[in-house]
């Protein structure tokens, strides 16, 4: 394994396709080491990825289901056992689902995967992150947060209705950015870690082998007008290392700080995900 201390190390969740895959490729091209935390395998036909894996610059950790706390725990424990530090953490894993679904813990799946799990990953890996050079975490959010009309813990965990994109997906991304904003001051003061949430913009991430959670009218627009995933990867890269690199708690859209809706609920949402982490994830560790 190549553990050259002169190289930076990034951990990316959801690195096997779309924006996460392109971010992996970009960082490797910039001589970073990448730790990939995925449910799926990376493309085997990609010679660059295969070469990076062979020489240890790309290290892949697989879990059957990121939203299953038991499976996630096993993989995170393996990472903590084998890795020495993390310079950048990209909480990027997610997706839009085509129907109302629930995690093994019983909460709405968008909320579990894209709001709760990023907090768990951050808390479990923050000691490695605190040892790094950049000490920065980036949460992949979305401009769809602007479409949220109503927000509460009940709506997030067990919504009564389901709408593609502007329903649980948008609400969960907003909740992610809200707890990011709320946790930022204490995370910086206690651990020296900066955290931001970033909208990667409109990217064509459609996959033939996966049902989409997009409204029917969005799919043709995505194929014709949306940017390739390299665009979103660039937004995340700049969100981590660009002009706002010394700031914390920001929500970035098109590289600029943006306001968050329902900001008065940021502490409530932070306390809820913290309670889930402590009572369900840590509480069942033994």
pLDDT for 219: 54
* CA triple 265-67-1, angle to 5 deg: 115
pLDDT band at 207 (very low <50, low <70, confident <90, very high): low
Quick check: 200 pLDDT over 60?
Answer: yes
pLDDT for 274: 98
- The CATH number of whichever domain residue 248 belongs to comes to 3.40.50.720
Q: Please report, for residues 106, 121, 189, 264, 271, the alpha-carbon distance to residue 185 in angstroms, rounded to integers and kept in the order given.
A: 31, 18, 6, 16, 15
Tell me the whole-structure pTM to 2 decimals.
0.92
Quick check: 24 pLDDT over 70?
Answer: yes
Pairing mode, if any, of strands 251-253 and 256-257?
Answer: antiparallel
Q: Bridge-partner residues for 12, per DSSP?
A: 36, 90
Asked, for residue 76, whether it belongs to a domain, the answer is yes
Quick check: 266 pLDDT over 70?
Answer: yes
Helices 117-130 and 69-82 pack at an angle, to 10 degrees, of 10
pLDDT for 72: 97
Asked, for residue 135, whether it belongs to a domain, the answer is yes
DSSP codes, 206-217? --TTS---S-TT
Q: Which residues of 19-28 are buried (b: 16+ CB within 10 A; e: fewer)?
A: bbbbbbbbbb
3-state SS of 13-65 is ECCCCHHHHHHHHHHHHCCCEEEEEECCCCCCCCHHHHHHHHCCCEEEEECCC
3 φ/ψ angles, rounded to the nearest 5 degrees:
-120, 40
Asked, for residue 2, whether it belongs to a domain, the answer is no
Mean pLDDT of 197-222: 64
Asked, for residue 1, whether it belongs to a domain, the answer is no
Asked, for residue 60, whether it belongs to a domain, the answer is yes
Q: Provide the residue range defining the domain that includes 212.
A: 9-282
Asked, for residue 18, whether it belongs to a domain, the answer is yes
Structural domains counted in the chain: 1
Mean pLDDT of 79-107: 95
């Amino acid at each position: 394994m190549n553990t050259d201390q002169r190289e930076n190390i990034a951990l990316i969740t959801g690195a096997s396709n779309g924006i996460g895959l392109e971010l992996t490729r970009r960082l490797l091209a910039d001589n970073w080491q990448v730790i990939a935390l995925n449910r799926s395998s990376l493309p085997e036909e990609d010679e660059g990825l295969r070469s990076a894996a062979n020489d240890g610059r790309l290290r892949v950790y697989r879990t059957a289901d990121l939203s299953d706390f038991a499976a996630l725990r096993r993989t995170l424990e393996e990472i903590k056992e084998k890795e020495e530090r993390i310079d950048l953490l990209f909480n990027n894993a997610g997706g839009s689902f085509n129907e109302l679904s629930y995690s093994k813990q019983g909460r709405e799946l968008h909320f579990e995967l894209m709001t709760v799990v990023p907090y768990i990953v951050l808390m479990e890996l923050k000691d490695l992150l605190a040892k790094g050079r950049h000490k920065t975490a980036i949460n992949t959010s979305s401009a769809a947060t602007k479409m949220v009309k109503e927000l509460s813990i009940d709506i997030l965990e067990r919504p009564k209705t389901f709408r593609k994109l502007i329903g649980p997906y948008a609400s969960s991304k907003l909740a992610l950015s809200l707890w990011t904003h709320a946790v930022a001051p204490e995370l910086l003061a206690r651990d020296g870690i900066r955290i931001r949430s970033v909208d990667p913009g409109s990217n064509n991430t459609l996959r033939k082998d996966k049902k989409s959670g997009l409204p029917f009218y969005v799919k043709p627009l995505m194929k014709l007008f949306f940017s390739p995933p390299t665009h979103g990867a660039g937004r995340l890269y700049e969100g981590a290392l660009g002009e706002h690199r010394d700031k914390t708690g920001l929500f970035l859209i098109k590289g600029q700080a943006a306001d968050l809706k329902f900001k008065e609920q940021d502490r409530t949402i932070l306390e809820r995900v913290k309670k889930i982490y402590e009572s369900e994830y840590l509480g069942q560790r033994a």
